[in-house]
Structure 1
Amino acid sequence: MGDEKVVSETHARGSEDIEELELPKSNYVLKMDLRLIPILGCTYTILFLDRTNIANARIEGLEKGLNMPKNGYNNCIWIFFIPFVLVEIPSNLIMSLPRVRPNVFLGINMLTLGIIATCQGLTASYGGLLALRFLMGIFEATLPAGAAFLIGEYYTRKEQSLRFACFFTFGVLGPAVSGLLAFAIRNMNGIQGKEGWRWIFILEGLCTVAISFLVFMLVPDFPEKTKILNPAEKAHLLAKLKRDKGDQKLDLKSVNWLKVFTDYKIWFPTLMFFCCDMTAASMSAFIPTILTEMGYKAAIAQLLTIPVWLTGIVFQVFGCWVSGRIGWRFPFILFGISFAMIGWIIQMVYSNNRGLAPGIRYFSLFAMSGGTFIQMAMTTSWMANNLRGRASTAAGTAMILGLGNCANFVAANVFIKTEAPFYPTGFRTGLGLTIMGAAFCLGFLGLLWLHNRKLARKRQEHGGEDNQVDYRYQY
């Protein structure tokens, strides 16, 4: 009862009253970081691990082992994303319901996902693999959107960019770890009469099952119900969030859903995410294959993928750290787009002239990784910074990670096996969408600037301050 009293009193205070609250002696933000980011980040690692291990299994004999048709590998990729895209928005809305606990909701879905992922290594047919990939898309959709949603609810706009960067960094670790694990697991070929590619699916699926139990135990509830902070810490957090975001509507009753789902502050970042995810999806699915086509043996190709992904981590964390300190988002996104374009242009030159050295093509993968992953974290943070209310945040994080991931449909169908190793269709599409991402970024920036200019004029005449309806947008 004492805990509830502190929370209710905090909500009743004005936004200026945070200074009147005694700052807790402990660094509760660090406590939140240690409790939220690692375990929620692991859910994103698992997403990329289970999504990209099929690329590692491919070069270990997956297609031959299941007698897959020429377009079979591409079909396995895009069939995953049909339910993935459709489930993310309703998943976040379910998680927003008062009686739904995030740890139980995410834990059940992750446990089910791990079981299905493990079965990929046991299937005896191409059709069975397709069915399992479809089911994986259903349960995996709940994890990244739900995790990003929860992170966005705990932090202020200034704090969010670095936390989203750390969250997405765990995602980048997925394919990096997958390459390392695949290098080790491939040596299990023949154990129990199973090929090496089967063990890749089995062991990485069992890893997902194991982590799901940690999700049950460690993922906290939403801030107003959290048990990871003491009453004084919770009161200070809620007051700080209220000062930063206003008195947000936390329930889903009487929400104008048409306004939420047509909000340009959600759609422009989603389109930007879609464009940069084209690069990430292409890299996830085809880096090991491209490296083997550059002349590297399968084992070496698995290891050479790791520094590419680590580069994405460095760009992402450092860029978002700087962004959080200066309060700007769009310059870093435009930098990322420019750097990713360098990588695509190099691949285009190779596709047209067919004479570039392998080292130059390998460098292009670093440019694409660094440029892409700084965009992902920054775009998600930029969107969350400009939304108000739990319904908008739930819908926004689901749309940007759901519809934004539709780029995987494109990537799965433009890297045509018969065009290997030059892939002109894939490289042209990637470069074109990267340029479109720059256009969406500048368009979004222009709309935010026009809104802030109009708001400034209104306040010069009539006064006023930020609330849930009229507030200054962040660049």
Structure 2
Amino acid sequence: MHAEALATPASDEGELAPPPSNYVLKLDLRLIPLLGCTYTILFLDRTNIANARIEGLEKGLNMPSNGYNTCLWIFFIPFVLVEIPSNMIMGLPRVKPNLFLGFSMLILGIISMCQGLTHSYGGLLACRFLMGILEATLPAGAALLLSEYYTRKEQPIRFAMFFTFGVLGPLVSGLLAYGIRHMNGIQGKEGWRWIFIIEGLGTIAISFLVFLFVPNFPEKTDILSGAEKAHLLEKLRRDKGDQKLSMRSVKWLPIFTDYKIWLPTAMFFCCDMTAASITSFTPTILTELGWKAERAQVMSIPIWATGFMFELGAGFLSSRTGLRFPFMLFGIMMATIGWIIQIVYSESKDLSPGVRYFSLFAMSAGTFLQMAMTVSWMTNNLRGRASVAVGTAMILGLGNCANFVASNVFIKREAPYYPTGFRTGLTITVAGAVLCLVHVALLWWHNQKLGRKRAEVGGEDDQWEYKYQY
């Protein structure tokens, strides 16, 4: 008999054997930094165009008055359309995540560099469209792989760490833009071009690390010993059922109509409205508040750092308590406060600009906390790789449609007060609170109904019938 078979954990009738080593830490170090970088890249590409705008992008390419907003939303058309089929392809048995994600990131880096080399507005639009196709494969694919390796209790802090890499995107972008702006004139290129070129080179460099170090799905992983792999698979089976059900045997209609996917996706849309607004317009708002371009780049950094800390803190507490809903509600309240301050400021010119700057901290803390919590909450209540693949694709694809709204309601002629944008943001955030309450009510109702059934006929959680977490 093989040693791996001897090391297989105890069966369902007994307690799960102690792990042969602290392999969870090994997984954390191998998965989270590299997969997190895929999300950093997404946010870098969202924010570096805002930084380039400060450095003269619009003037350099003779863009029309609505050209900047068009560059924002054209990226998200293919991003939304490609996300679900991309995740379904990645979940196929013969597809290796490292090759799938690595090739996408490599080509993305090349096209990202081309943004800094193009000499026409049309060329920039073409680059943005192609980037949307390639980036659709990255965050959702990374989230799918991440969810496959961790139990429901382990997921919140891991997703929080994953999403903090997204917060690092604008933070790093601000730092890079502050340094790169001094490259203006080198090789005859403007500073805004170097922002795209340098950050594109960084994406290419990370793609080679993805090729080398991102592992396969748990049942095929080669980064654990035989005993560690056996323990992991048994632990995951007990916690989430059989995640690797054949894609061919899946009933797709129940998955695509599952409220446990659609409601979190709508909630993500609502919180991403705030994230999209901050990401796209904070550098511009800071400039219009009176700070010159160089200082505006630096003053955006503490805003993202605040989101970073609140996201990690909430993820840690959620993993310890097993709760999701209270943290979601807290995040919504924080974002709401930020939007209200912006509206009051736009209507009363007596407020200090410092108050408006403070509101960006509240919005960052509230929205990034929600993004991580919503994804982990959704994956906690799904069973089977097909459901998780579709769910993570929908929440990070359709959920990101908020960028269409954000890129069109912040009207340039309304600067620097943006009354239309801020009222729209507040309305959508409040709608997110309503959706959150409806979601938790449905989960509670399901658990109550299941509890009554089990009191009558008995039974335990299985692949198809189980209690939901809230």
Using the size of structure 2 for normalisation, the TM-score is: 0.98
Distance 1:202 1:395 in 2: 33
1:366 aligns with 2:365: no
Aligned-pair CA distance for 1:146? 0.4
Contact 1:17 1:239 in 2 (8 A): no
The answer for the alignment partner of 2:461 in structure 1 is 466
Instruction: Render the CA deviation track for 1:154-203: whole Å, top value 9, x for unaligned.
Output: 00000000000000000000000000000000000000110000000000
Q: List gaps (5 residues or longer) in structure 1.
A: none
Contact 2:242 2:383 in 1 (8 A): no
Contact 2:44 2:173 in 1 (8 A): yes
The answer for the alignment partner of 2:175 in structure 1 is 180
Distance 1:63 1:88 in 2: 30
Aligned-pair CA distance for 1:445? 0.5
Contact 2:242 2:463 in 1 (8 A): yes
The answer for the alignment partner of 1:312 in structure 2 is 307
Aligned-pair CA distance for 1:52? 1.1
Contact 2:343 2:423 in 1 (8 A): yes
| Stretches (4+) displaced over 6 A | none
Distance 1:407 1:223 in 2: 33
Contact 1:18 1:239 in 2 (8 A): no
Distance 2:328 2:74 in 1: 30
The answer for the alignment partner of 2:287 in structure 1 is 292
Distance 1:3 1:210 in 2: 39
Distance 1:163 1:249 in 2: 21
Distance 1:325 1:159 in 2: 9
Partner SS, residue 158 of structure 1:
coil
Contact 1:18 1:243 in 2 (8 A): no
1:331 aligns with 2:290: no
Distance 2:18 2:311 in 1: 34
239-248 or 188-197, larger mean C-alpha shift: 239-248
Identity of aligned residues (%): 73
Query: For 1:420, which of 415, 419, 426 is the aligned residue?
Result: 415
Instruction: Render the CA deviation track for 1:244-268: whole Å, top value 9, x for unaligned.
Output: 1123343201211110010000000
Aligned-pair CA distance for 1:16? 4.4
Distance 2:3 2:140 in 1: 29
The answer for the alignment partner of 2:449 in structure 1 is 454
The answer for the alignment partner of 1:43 in structure 2 is 38
The answer for the alignment partner of 1:402 in structure 2 is 397
The answer for the alignment partner of 1:76 in structure 2 is 71
Distance 1:461 1:104 in 2: 50
Instruction: Give the 3 Å change call, closer, same or farther, for CA 399–456 of structure 1 in structure 2.
Output: same
Contact 1:248 1:468 in 2 (8 A): no
Partner SS, residue 403 of structure 1:
helix
Amino acid at match of 2:219: E
Instruction: Render the CA deviation track for 1:382-403: whole Å, top value 9, x for unaligned.
Output: 0010000000000000100000
Aligned-pair CA distance for 1:422? 1.1
Contact 1:311 1:369 in 2 (8 A): yes
Contact 2:4 2:227 in 1 (8 A): no
Equivalent runs, 1:48-447 vs 2, <5 Å: 48-447=43-442
Q: List gaps (5 residues or longer) in structure 2.
A: none
Aligned-pair CA distance for 1:51? 1.8
Partner SS, residue 466 of structure 1:
coil
Amino acid at match of 1:416: I
Distance 2:430 2:268 in 1: 13
Distance 1:412 1:422 in 2: 15
Aligned-pair CA distance for 1:454? 0.3
Aligned-pair CA distance for 1:5? 5.5
Amino acid at match of 2:90: M
1:23 aligns with 2:19: yes
Partner SS, residue 93 of structure 2:
coil
Distance 1:16 1:89 in 2: 38
Distance 1:189 1:30 in 2: 43
Using the size of structure 1 for normalisation, the TM-score is: 0.97
